[in-house]
Amino acid sequence: MTFSALDSELVGPLFASAEMRAVFSDRARLAAMLQAEAALARAEAQLGLAPAALPSAIDAIAAESLDLAELGRGTALAGVPTIPFVQAVRARLPAGLEPAFHKGATTQDIVDTALVLQMRTAFGLVAAELDAILAGLAGLAARHRGTPCVGRSYRQQAQPTSFGFKVAVWAAGVAEVAAELPALRRRVLRASLAGPVGTLGSLRDKGPEVADAFAAELDLAPAAIAWHTRRAGIASTGAWLAMLVGALAKMATDVVDLASTEVGEASEPHIPGRGGSTAMPHKRNPVSATVILSAHGAAPAFAASLLTAMAAEHERPAGTWHAEWHALPSLFGLASGALAEAKRLAEGLHVDPARMAQNLEATRGLLYADAVAAKLGKALGGRAAHERLEAAAGRVRSSGRDLREVLAEDREVAAVLSPEELRAAFDPGPAVRAAGAWVDRTLFEVARVRRELTNTQS
């Protein structure tokens, strides 16, 4: 039985990438736990607290050699996976090494450190996808920097803009979340080794030294003090993933509307067999946007559970810590699926400039009412010009005529605006050029964020 869509062989590939599912698989968790235990053994061996042969003996144990079903039964009995895991590893160690294994550590140390190791790999996957998405959106914005399209407010036509500007807004939204990733990684990729109540008391005065050596072995940051019940790092990771999905959802929301029959200005890249309907052969549903929006629908609740888990009692929590096991892998999984689909959109979105040009004329010139009012306002005053255009817009709606025709017949308008000046007010060019300046600024910022992402990974 499958309780999570992300774990399902049937629908899991739709919602999460295979790479991210592998990162948080049971085998990957066991491998990370073994890695943490081997690092602990090396740190203690350096200080004469463990046999020199112990680290290599742990390294020789493959995660695949451990019986998952047996460990699962042991976890159900013990309440945590570390207890049956430690028993299984000890049974595979050469005689005489078992007593030194897991020395000083507690269950949560190994589980949390293993999670951090998985997160490090997961962050790398996320960063690579983000870089590709930002590159794709930057290219799309640059190509359509001068493509006129309708700017919409409250789902109604407002003023002309450029499609490049719309894409630049998507890119800026993703970039501002991506820019937080390097600092987030530095804050949360830290080792956990603190013992039963956080003091590593069984190691006496060697505790801090072992903890630092343990972190160094894993190339993780050391913790100043136990973070068993300090969960801000985990909660902030969840919140960041939810914000990332939200930034992608902004793009997906626009794509769904742009792809609607009535708008028709853009559509997802066509792949045979994708986005069809069992009842309607003509349909090409926006699957990528749908996957992103489904992730956005689920992510906030998972992030909220991580915030709830911050209320951990005393030195070791009951229940709140365990709740994280549901939420954080799910958030990484949802983010991976959303990122994969956002990359597909960024790199392959089909854009229809001709349809955009048609839609610019859909309101029979009303889209340019503000531009005309600005010109009239210089002679009539702002309020009078606004009232004049509001009345003219009413005549356009009631008569079905074009705003340019209605205004051309208005004697007061003709008295202050020449035919050439009136015609110029209906030119989208100035609005598109104004939008272009913001596109350029955004492309510069996106490039900066991409460099930071690359430097963080190197």
* DSSP letter string, 204-241: GGGHHHHHHHHHHHHT-BPPSS--SS--HHHHHHHHHH
Please check whether residue 416 lies inside any domain of the structure. Answer: yes
DSSP code of residue 168: H
CATH of the domain at 305: 1.20.200.10
Based on the fold, state whether residues 152 and 248 are members of the same structural domain: yes
Q: What is the pLDDT of residue 318?
A: 87
Is 304 a domain residue? yes
What is the model's pLDDT at position 3? 62
Q: Does residue 46 fall inside a structural domain?
A: yes
- Let me know if 315 is exposed, middle or buried by CB neighbors in 10 A (0-12, 13-18, 19+): middle
Is residue 3 domain-resident? no
Does the annotation mark 277 as catalytic?
A: yes
Residue-range definition of the domain harbouring residue 397: 366-425
- HEC-encoded secondary structure of 286-346: CHHHHHHHHHHHHHHHHHHHHHHCCCCCCCCCCCHHHHHHHHHHHHHHHHHHHHHHHHHHH
Whether the per-residue pLDDT at 377 is higher than 90: the answer is no
Asked if 97 and 110 sit in the same domain, the reply is: no
In terms of domains, do 291 and 416 share one? no
Q: Is pLDDT of 272 > 80?
A: no
Read off the pLDDT of each residue in 351-379 and give the average, rounded to a whole number: 90
Q: How confident is the model at residue 386 (pLDDT cuts 50, 70, 90)?
A: confident
- Assess whether 255 and 335 both reside in one domain: yes
pLDDT band per the 50, 70, 90 thresholds, residue 381: confident
Same-domain status, 298 and 342: yes
Determine, yes or no, domain membership for 9.
no
H or E segment and range at residue 58: helix 54-59
pLDDT at 274: 56
Determine the Cα angle at 85 with ends 80 and 91, to 5°.
Answer: 145
Greater confidence (418 vs 441) lies with: 441
* pLDDT of 283 higher than 60: no
Which member of 56, 202, 260, 277 is catalytic?
277
Residues 259 and 305 in one domain: yes
- Is the same domain home to 118 and 57? no
Mutual orientation of helices 181-188 and 107-143 as an angle, nearest 10°? 170
| Tens of pLDDT, residues 5-59 | 777 787 778 889 999 999 999 999 999 999 999 999 999 999 999 999 999 999 9
Q: Say yes or no to pLDDT of 275 above 60.
A: no
Please report, for the domain that includes residue 60, its CATH number.
1.10.275.10
Q: Say if residue 330 is in the same domain as residue 351.
A: yes
Q: Are residues 149 and 44 in the same domain?
A: no
The secondary structure element, H or E, covering residue 156 is strand 156-162
Q: Is 70 part of any domain?
A: yes
Whole-prediction pTM: 0.92
DSSP 412: H
- Segment 84-113 shows an average pLDDT of 95
Residues 214 and 93 in one domain: yes
Q: What is the pLDDT of residue 18?
A: 92
Euclidean distance between CA atoms 429 and 232, whole angstroms: 49
Domain count, the chain: 3
Structure tokens at 187: 């804050």
- What average pLDDT score do residues 279-286 get? 56
Over 90: is that where the pLDDT of 411 sits? Answer: no
pLDDT of residue 282: 46
The answer to whether residue 122 sits within a structural domain is yes
Residue 458 confidence class, pLDDT cut points 50, 70, 90: low
Residue 458 annotated among the catalytic residues of the structure: no
* pLDDT > 90: percent of the chain: 75
- Out of 230, 316, 364, 395, the active site residue is 316
Is 346's pLDDT higher than 90? yes
Nearest to 320 by CA among 200, 228, 192, 185: 228
Residues 351 and 266 in one domain: yes
Q: Is residue 247 domain-shared with residue 390, that is, in the same domain? A: no
In a domain, 361, yes or no: no
pLDDT over threshold 80, residue 279: no
C-alpha dihedral, 198 to 240 to 322 to 63, nearest 10°: -90
